[in-house]
Structure 1
C-alpha cells in the first residue's frame, strides 16, 4: 500500500505547476542508440531560474535525440537547442490549464486509491482462504480483515492529503 502511495506522489511530481521542476522530465525516455533510456541518465538537468529548465547532455551527439523526445512527449514544452544545451521555458499557466492539471492529478489519485484497494482485496482473499482451509479461526480472520481495512483507510487518506496539497500547488498563481 505504501508503494501505491509513493507511486501516486511520483506521478503528481510530473504535473506542471507553473514553476520549473526537474521531476517534470522524469517520464521522458530518449531513443539513445536504439534503446529507450531515461533522460536523467543521459543529461544533467537543472533549474537556473523559476521558469526555465536546462538540459546539458553528457554526450553532445545525443542532443538531437533528447530534443526530439521532449517534443514528442506530452509535457507540452518546446525545447530550445543552442548546440550545447537545451532550454525549456515554462510558460505561466492559464486558469483553464490549471483546471486540466487538477483533473489529471485527480485521475492519478484515483489510480493510487485503486491500487491500495487491490492490495486490500488480495489480503482479504488470503485471510478467507486461510479460514476456509482451517488455518485460522473465523474470529482471527474477521480481526485481520478489519486491520487490513483500517490500513486501507489510512493509505487512502494519505493519497487524499497529497492530492489536496498538489491541487493547492497547481492553483497557486
Structure 2
C-alpha cells in the first residue's frame, strides 16, 4: 500500500519535472535553439500544423536558426506564423529558406526572463506540494480506515516529506542552472 503511494508520488513528481523542462526549453536564452519554435503552428491544408512537421529546422550558427520547408509555397505562411508568435523574432526569407537571427539579450530582458524562469519553477514546486498533500491525505485516510497502523502512517508521512524535499531541491537546481545560462553574456 505504501509502495503504491510512493510510486504514484514519483510519477507525479516526474510529470512536474517534465512540464518544467518543456517550459524552460521555450525560454529564449540568447542562443539559437530549435525548441523555441515548438509552439509555432502553421496553417497547412486548413489544419494548424507544428513547424517541425513541415520543415527542416537547423542551427548553423550559435545565433541563427534556418527553416527549410519541404514545400516552397509554405514560406509565406511560415513567415507569417513566426511574426505572429510572441518570440519577437523577425524572419528573413530568401525564397528557399527562412533565417531567424537571434539577437543578444539586453540586461533588462535577461532579468525579465529570470523572473519568468522563477515563476515556472514556483509552478513546479506547487505541483509537487499538491502531490505531497494528496499522498498525505491518502495515508491519513488509510490509517483512519484501519488499513495501516499509526506507525506506518508516521513512517509514510516521513518518506513522503523526504521525497518532496528531494524533488523541490531538484527543481531549485534546474532553475539555478537556467538562471546562470540566462545571465551569461
Q: Say yes or no: TM over 0.5.
A: yes
SS of structure 2 residue aligned to 1:145: helix
Partner in structure 2 of residue 70 of structure 1 = 82
Task: After TM superposition, give the deviation of residue 41 of structure 1 in Å.
Answer: 1.6
SS of structure 1 residue aligned to 2:28: coil
Partner in structure 2 of residue 104 of structure 1 = 116
Please list every run of 5 or more consecutive structure 2 residues that lacks an aligned counterpart in the other structure.
1-12
Task: After TM superposition, give the deviation of residue 37 of structure 1 in Å.
Answer: 2.1
SS of structure 2 residue aligned to 1:20: coil
Partner in structure 2 of residue 35 of structure 1 = 47
Q: Aligned equivalents of 1:47 and 1:39: distance in 2? A: 15
Partner in structure 2 of residue 121 of structure 1 = 133
**TM-score, L = length of structure 2:** 0.87
Q: Aligned equivalents of 1:137 and 1:36: distance in 2? A: 54
Residue 46 (structure 1) aligned with residue 58 (structure 2): yes
**TM-score, L = length of structure 1:** 0.93
SS of structure 1 residue aligned to 2:29: coil
Please list every run of 5 or more consecutive structure 1 residues that lacks an aligned counterpart in the other structure.
none
CA deviations on 1:26-62 (whole Å, 9 max, x unpaired) are 2222232222222222211111101111011123232
CA deviations on 1:114-135 (whole Å, 9 max, x unpaired) are 1111211221121122112211
Q: Aligned equivalents of 1:38 and 1:65: distance in 2? A: 12
Task: After TM superposition, give the deviation of residue 9 of structure 1 in Å.
Answer: 1.9
Partner in structure 2 of residue 88 of structure 1 = 100
Residue 156 (structure 1) aligned with residue 168 (structure 2): yes
SS of structure 2 residue aligned to 1:92: coil
Q: Aligned equivalents of 1:47 and 1:166: distance in 2? A: 20
Q: Aligned equivalents of 1:142 and 1:162: distance in 2? A: 30
Partner in structure 1 of residue 157 of structure 2 = 145
| Cα RMSD for the two superposed structures | 1.4
SS of structure 2 residue aligned to 1:116: helix
Q: Aligned equivalents of 2:153 and 2:18: distance in 1? A: 28
CA deviations on 1:85-142 (whole Å, 9 max, x unpaired) are 1111100111011111111111111111111112112211211221122111122122
